[in-house]
Structure 1
Amino acid sequence: MTVTEAVESRRSVRAFLDKPVERDMLERVIEKAQRAPSGGNTQPWHGIVLTGEPMQQLFARIAQDLPKGREAFAPEYHIYPPELDGAYEARRFGVGEDMYGALEITREEKGKRLMWFANNFRAFGAPVLMLVHTPKYMGPPQWSDIGMWLQTIGLLLREEGLDCCFQEAWAVYSPQIREVVDIPEDHTFFCGVAIGWRDPDAPVNNFSVARAPIEESVRWEGW
């Protein structure tokens, strides 16, 4: 698989096959991903890779607080800026509506939407969940480094035939996660990454995800 093929075939997969992932495959991916760039070679990323009983214990703990709704949310950072607006908010809203459209869940079906949202906290059926954290004193440049590491992992997973979903949604349950998983107190919990084998027939894995034209993001000068 070329880099281009990995980029073009990668997507946020939200339905996985009931098929285990071998540890040696993940070790191979993560070892290669250590080559991801970081300012000053700081490599500020930390991950905890869960499967089996430890992962199920985490799911069970989160399930206890799911009925509480937003009252149980306590993220350590703003997942989206409170002032998000314009094209950025339109893109966020648009991909959500496209996803629910693929699932044939209307805006009026709030209960079904909530039930689907709960799938986040079962890692969409993936056999592996990686939890990502970093020291609290790390700033925006280091968070950017973590993003490059995660993107590298995502593309290397595609090379192995695997897929993933980067799940910042897990951040809303940071205190509950810390009850079950040993994350250093002086670290910020960032996100989860669901990892597994894509269900090729699931509608949620097949809807078109729009991307903005480069004219909206890039300005050329001197050409």
Structure 2
Amino acid sequence: MKVSEALSSRRSVRGFLDKPVDLDTLRRVLAFAARAPSGGNVQPWNIVVITGEPKQVLVNAVALKIATGEREFPEYTVYPEALPDPYRTRRFGVGELLYANLGIPRADKAGRLAWFTANFRFFNAPVGLFVHTPTYMGLPQWADLGIYLQSVMLMLREEGLDSCPQECWVTWPETVRRFVPIPDGHLLYTGMSIGYADPDEAANRTNAERAPVDETTTFLGF
């Protein structure tokens, strides 16, 4: 698979087949992804991969908290509070596209909330992945984490697998820490669902548009 093919076919998959993912495949993906660049070769990523009973115990624990109306405090804010355009339009546009594919109108608040909670089942993916990093890491290292995650997702495509990066998991840091070995002094950066995409899942028809190059890029000296 060419890099261009991996990039064009990668998307946030929100419905997975009930098909296990081989451990050797995951090891191979993570070994290649570790070739991602990082400033000073710091490699600030720390990974926990979870499946089977441990994953189900975590999912059940979060489901219970959601059902009882409990909340936890995220360890960082995912989006700026006053996100201006064009970023705000892009963010809400992909959400509306997703719910349109699902047939859940804006007025159906309960339906949208119920769908959102599917995040915390990893969208029924067989594998979950968490990334954590020391709290003293700065913005350059956070950029390194993004490069690493992109490398993971592209390598998953080469193996015929799909994924969904899920920063939403940072809203349950205490519960995640109960079941996932994240050491003190480390921050929960993100989660990710991994598996084989379900071709019949309506949500998987969502393919968000990207801004054209001339909208985001200035060329000088050409």
Residues 11 and 207 in structure 2, CA contact (< 8 A), matched pair in contact too: no
- Secondary structure at the aligned position of 2:175 is classed as helix
**What is the alpha-carbon distance in structure 2 between the residues aligned to residue 153 and residue 182 of structure 1?**
20
Q: What is the alpha-carbon distance in structure 1 between the residues aligned to residue 7 and residue 213 of structure 2?
A: 16
Alignment of 1:12-31 (within 5 A): 12-31=12-31
| Cα distance between partner residues in 1 of 2:207 and 2:131 | 28
Supply the AA of the counterpart residue of 2:78: I
Contact 1:61/1:180, CA 8 A, preserved across alignment:
no
1:2 offset after TM fit, Å? 0.7
Q: Does 1:66 align with 2:84?
A: no
What is the aligned-residue RMSD (CA, Å)?
1.0
Separation in structure 2 between the aligned mates of residue 208 and residue 151 of structure 1, nearest angstrom:
17
Query: Which amino acid counterpart does residue 140 of structure 2 have in structure 1?
Result: P
Match status 1:169 vs 2:168: yes
User: Is the Cα–Cα contact under 8 Å of residues 34 and 149 in structure 1 kept in the other structure?
Assistant: yes
Amino acid at match of 1:159: E
Q: Does residue 1:49 correspond to 2:49, yes or no? A: yes
Q: Which residue of 2 aligns with 1:93?
A: 92
Residue pair 2:58, 2:179 contacting (<8 A) in 1 also: yes
Q: Which moved more, 1:199-208 or 1:90-99?
A: 199-208
**What amino acid maps onto 1:138 in structure 2?**
M
TM-score, normalised on structure 2?
A: 0.98
* Structure 2 unaligned spans of 5+: none
> 2: distance between equivalents of 1:79 and 1:73?
14
Structure 2: how far apart are the matches of 1:208 and 1:31? 28
The alignment-based identity, stated in percent, is 51
In structure 1, stretches of 5+ residues that fail to align are none
- Tell me if the contact between 2:104 and 2:112 (Cα under 8 Å) persists in the aligned partners: yes
| Count of residues in correspondence between the two structures | 222
Residue 76 (structure 1) aligns with = 75
TM-score by length of 1: 0.97
2: CA distance between counterparts of 1:203 and 1:73? Answer: 30
The residue number in structure 1 matching 2:183 is 184
Amino acid at match of 2:194: I
SS in 2 for 1:190: strand
Aligned counterparts of 1:37 and 1:68: Cα–Cα separation in 2? 43
Query: Structure 1 residue 32: deviation in Å?
Result: 0.7
Q: Distance in 1 between matches of 2:5 and 2:180?
A: 35
The runs of 4+ residues in structure 1 deviating greater than 4 Å are: none
The within-5 A match list for 1:142-161 is: 142-161=141-160
Deviations 1:65-93 (A, max 9, x none): 11355x50311001111121211011000
Query: Could you say which residue in structure 1 is the equivalent of 2:135?
Result: 136
What residue number does 2:4 align with? 4
